[in-house]
Every structure is written in structure tokens, then in C-alpha cells.
């Protein structure tokens, strides 16, 4: 597996760098075409406003997702995107069904296949959605505010995360109490706080609370899904 992981990290870094270059080529191409370049003072001013939130979130996401996605799954997920909504739920479902962990050799393969299949299915669904929107107008008709189904489409993400979270909260309820309590308190104080900040708060709280409970004898390794 050492040769496999070496190649995975090599190609993963190459494709990640290539993806970043392609993403940056879009605004550069627009600026070249229209000969309109943003001034440095405005560029860095706008960057500073979002960097404070998204840069720490990006680091936290890599640390949080990598143990769940495996090496190849992590690279593929961060290149194709939409990890929390699609890639992570698919991977977790596949691993739980097979009974493996992403840190095992079998789990590494399964997580990679799950992320790849999720990416392919997502691309096909998006293509069909664009086709239905542009040709038939079906998607637009059922998602418009006048549609009786409109309220349901506003609850897609809560339903998705609720279904995923409920299983984990039930299975590892001791680990979930502290971060959930802190996040609820934060939301009660400021209901408009951004999701990226909540992720950081939740992860840090979970790590600290788990460490303190484990040291205090309130947790065992089995509570975290590990064998004693």
C-alpha cells in the first residue's frame, strides 16, 4: 500500500494544482478579454473579508474530512467539490454498509469508488437538470414560488443533514452532546452566524470535550467507534 499511497499523493497534488489553475484561469480570461483588471487595493480588501472565514474553514475541512474519505477520496472530493452535501454522505453510507473504515485498505478503495460514483452521478443529474430547465421548463415549474412543492425544496439540505446526523448522533451520542449544545447556544445568541464559523466551533468543541471526557473516564475507545 505504500506505493499506492505515494502515487495517490503525487497525482492528487498534481490534479489539485491543475484544478486551482483552471479555476483561476476563468477570472483571468475575463479580465484579459475585457481588458479590465481589479485594482490591488480593492482585490485585497475584498479578499480579506472572506479569507478570515473561509481560509480557517478550508483547513478545518481537510483535517475533518480526510479521516472519513481516505487519501484518494479526499483529493477527488476537493477537486470535484460539494463534499458535505454529496461526497461525504455517499462515502459514509458505503463504508457503513460494508463495515470498513476509510483508514483500512479495503475502506480506502471503497471510499474512492463512492466518491467517484457520486461525482459521475452528480454530473449526469446536473446535465439532466439543465436539459429539463432549458428545454421543458419542468424543473422551473415545480421549484417556482407558485408551485405547491416549493416549501419542500426549501428543506432539502436540512433533510439531508438531518438524516445523516441522526444516525451518528444516536450511535455516538456521548460525542455529540457537547458540540450540539455549544452550537445551539451560539445560534440562540446569533442566528445569522455563517456555517463556516459553526463548523469550526463544532469541531473544536467536539475535540476538546472528547479529550476531557476520555481523560475523565467518561468515554472509552468504543464510544468513538474504536476497539479497546
CA distances from 108 to 44, 82, 91 (A): 39, 20, 10
Average pLDDT (199-228) is 77
Grid cell of 137 as nine digits = 421548463
The dihedral sign for the CA sequence 195, 199, 205, 206: positive
In this predicted model, what pLDDT tens digit does every residue of 13-45 receive, in sequence order?
A: 999 999 999 989 988 999 999 998 888 888 888
The domain ranges of the chain are 173-228
In this predicted model, what pLDDT tens digit does every residue of 154-200 receive, in sequence order?
A: 887 778 778 777 877 887 788 888 998 999 999 999 888 877 788 88
With DSSP H G I counted as helix, E B as strand and the rest as coil, what are the percentages for the chain, rounded to 5?
Answer: 85, 0, 15
In this predicted model, what pLDDT tens digit does every residue of 48-78 receive, in sequence order?
A: 877 877 788 788 888 888 888 988 999 999 9
Grid cell of 57 as nine digits = 474553514
HSE-CB of 88 using CA atoms within 13 angstroms: 18
What is the pLDDT, as a whole number, of residue 224?
A: 56
Q: Look up the pTM and report it.
A: 0.63
Grid cell of 17 as nine digits = 494544482
Return the DSSP state at 83.
I
Amino acid at each position: 500500500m505504500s506505493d499506492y499511497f505515494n502515487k495517490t499523493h503525487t497525482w492528487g497534488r498534481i490534479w489539485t494544482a491543475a484544478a486551482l489553475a483552471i479555476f483561476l484561469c476563468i477570472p483571468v480570461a475575463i479580465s484579459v478579454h475585457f481588458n479590465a483588471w481589479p485594482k490591488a487595493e480593492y482585490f485585497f480588501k475584498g479578499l480579506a473579508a472572506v479569507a478570515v472565514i473561509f481560509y480557517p474553514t478550508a483547513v478545518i475541512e481537510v483535517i475533518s474530512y480526510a479521516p472519513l474519505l481516505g487519501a484518494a477520496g479526499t483529493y477527488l472530493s476537493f477537486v470535484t467539490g460539494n463534499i458535505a452535501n454529496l461526497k461525504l454522505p455517499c462515502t459514509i453510507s458505503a463504508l457503513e454498509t460494508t463495515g470498513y473504515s476509510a483508514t483500512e485498505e479495503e475502506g480506502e478503495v471503497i471510499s474512492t469508488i463512492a466518491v467517484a460514483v457520486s461525482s459521475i452521478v452528480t454530473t449526469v443529474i446536473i446535465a439532466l437538470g439543465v436539459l429539463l430547465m432549458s428545454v421543458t421548463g419542468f424543473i422551473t415549474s415545480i421549484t417556482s414560488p407558485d408551485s405547491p412543492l416549493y416549501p419542500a425544496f426549501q428543506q432539502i439540505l436540512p433533510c439531508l443533514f438531518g438524516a445523516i446526523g441522526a444516525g451518528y448522533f444516536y450511535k455516538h451520542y456521548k460525542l455529540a452532546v457537547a458540540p450540539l449544545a455549544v452550537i445551539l447556544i451560539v445560534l440562540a445568541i446569533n442566528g445569522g452566524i455563517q456555517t463556516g464559523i459553526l463548523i469550526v466551533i463544532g469541531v473544536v468543541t467536539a475535540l476538546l470535550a472528547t479529550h476531557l471526557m476520555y481523560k475523565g473516564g467518561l468515554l472509552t475507545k468504543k464510544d468513538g467507534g474504536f476497539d479497546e
